[in-house]
């Protein structure tokens, strides 16, 4: 295994790497993130038997690194922060408006929802719980939840659906009993989403910076929350327009609480703050 002789990431190499990451993946890394990038990439130097950050930078930028290494690098620098029932107003809107509307207008059809920045899966499973609660005792339609993220590492966690017990504190007790299985290790209390809900979800890797999105179907609802804040306005406009290409006319689009479509040209009409309709 390599010994890291040049253990400091230079400003010049940081600038090159951060420009590459932003151009290809939309993740902005200001110079204040240099120490973070340096510490996270140290493991990649060791794995690749590379002695310095300068050499690693050349390895990545020359194209010699290969797709697998780029994916591993992006896994380390991408931010994955999410919670169950995060920004609950969106789920309240689903229960009060979107789900009853779909049930009335699409009897017997399947509702498809896309969690486009799904991180470790809490958003996707919250969606599945909300719909399951709505359908309980009176099955009006079937549904599926499609989750995507740029990080393969975090998507593996999402697919497993296993979380520390404290992560699910926000879920009401009655729903915990219905939708979560408790682990048997008292020293490391964990829960797992029940198989019936996991069967309703599917997770795949997707880079929102891609020119087009290879996704399986048109969606009735698209969640794109708390990821656009990392993009400039031009990139935000492109990403939203590409997402809307897979959103049905009249379908709903949810943004994060600190995001907006103000000043950009997208086919959305605002219904409520951060809630939009495809037009």
Question: How does residue 80 score in pLDDT terms, banded at 50, 70 and 90?
Answer: low
Q: Domain boundary residue among 57, 77, 97? A: 77
Given 6, 40, 167, 205, the catalytic residue: 40
Residue 3 lies in a domain: no
Given 149, 198, 225, 278, the catalytic residue: 149
What's the rounded mean pLDDT across residues 255-259? Answer: 89
Report pLDDT for 4: 44
pLDDT digits (tens, 9 = 90+) for 102-145: 999 998 899 999 999 998 999 999 999 999 999 987 778 999 99
Q: From CA 257, how far away is CA 226, in angstroms rounded?
A: 8
Q: Domain boundary residue among 27, 48, 77? A: 77
pLDDT digits (tens, 9 = 90+) for 208-227: 989 999 997 799 999 999 88
Report pLDDT for 139: 75
33 and 166 both lie in a single domain = no
64 and 97 both lie in a single domain = no
Write the CA distances from 259 to 63, 177, 179, 246, integer angstroms: 34, 34, 31, 20
Report pLDDT for 276: 97
Domain that includes residue 100, residue range:
89-278
130 and 249 both lie in a single domain = yes
Tell me, what CATH number does 55's domain have?
1.10.155.10
Residue 261 lies in a domain: yes
Residue 2 lies in a domain: no
pLDDT digits (tens, 9 = 90+) for 135-190: 987 778 999 999 999 888 889 999 999 999 988 999 999 999 999 999 888 888 99
Tell me, what CATH number does 115's domain have?
3.40.50.150
149 belongs to the catalytic site: yes
What's the rounded mean pLDDT across residues 71-98? Answer: 86
62 and 36 both lie in a single domain = yes
129 and 266 both lie in a single domain = yes
Percent of residues, the chain, with pLDDT higher than 90: 62
40 belongs to the catalytic site: yes
Question: How does residue 1 score in pLDDT terms, banded at 50, 70 and 90?
Answer: very low
Model-level pTM? 0.82
Residue 50 lies in a domain: yes
184 and 131 both lie in a single domain = yes
């Amino acid at each position: 295994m390599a010994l890291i002789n040049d253990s400091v990431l230079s400003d010049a190499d940081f600038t090159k790497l951060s420009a590459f990451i932003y151009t290809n993946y939309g993740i902005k890394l200001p110079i204040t993130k240099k120490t973070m990038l340096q510490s996270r990439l140290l493991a990649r130097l060791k794995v690749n038997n590379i002695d310095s950050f300068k050499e690693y930078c050349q390895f990545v930028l020359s194209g010699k690194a290969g797709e697998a290494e780029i994916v591993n690098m992006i896994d380390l620098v991408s931010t994955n922060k999410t919670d169950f029932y995060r920004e609950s107003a969106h789920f309240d809107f689903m229960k009060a408006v979107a789900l009853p509307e779909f049930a009335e207008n699409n009897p017997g059809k399947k509702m498809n929802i896309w969690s486009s920045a799904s991180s470790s899966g809490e958003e996707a499973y919250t969606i599945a719980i909300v719909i399951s609660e709505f359908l309980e005792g009176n099955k009006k339609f079937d549904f599926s939840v499609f989750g995507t993220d740029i990080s393969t590492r975090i998507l593996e966690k999402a697919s497993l659906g296993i979380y520390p017990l404290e992560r699910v504190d926000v879920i009401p007790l009655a729903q915990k009993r219905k939708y979560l299985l408790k682990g048997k290790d008292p020293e490391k209390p964990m829960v797992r989403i029940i198989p019936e809900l996991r069967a309703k979800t599917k997770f795949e890797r997707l880079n929102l910076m891609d020119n087009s999105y290879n996704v399986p179907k048109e969606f009735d609802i698209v969640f794109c929350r708390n990821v656009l804040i990392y993009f400039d306005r031009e990139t935000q406009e492109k990403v939203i327009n590409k997402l809307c290409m897979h959103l049905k006319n009249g379908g709903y689009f949810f943004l994060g609480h600190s995001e907006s479509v103000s000043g950009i040209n997208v086919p959305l009409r605002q219904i409520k703050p951060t809630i939009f309709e495809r037009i």
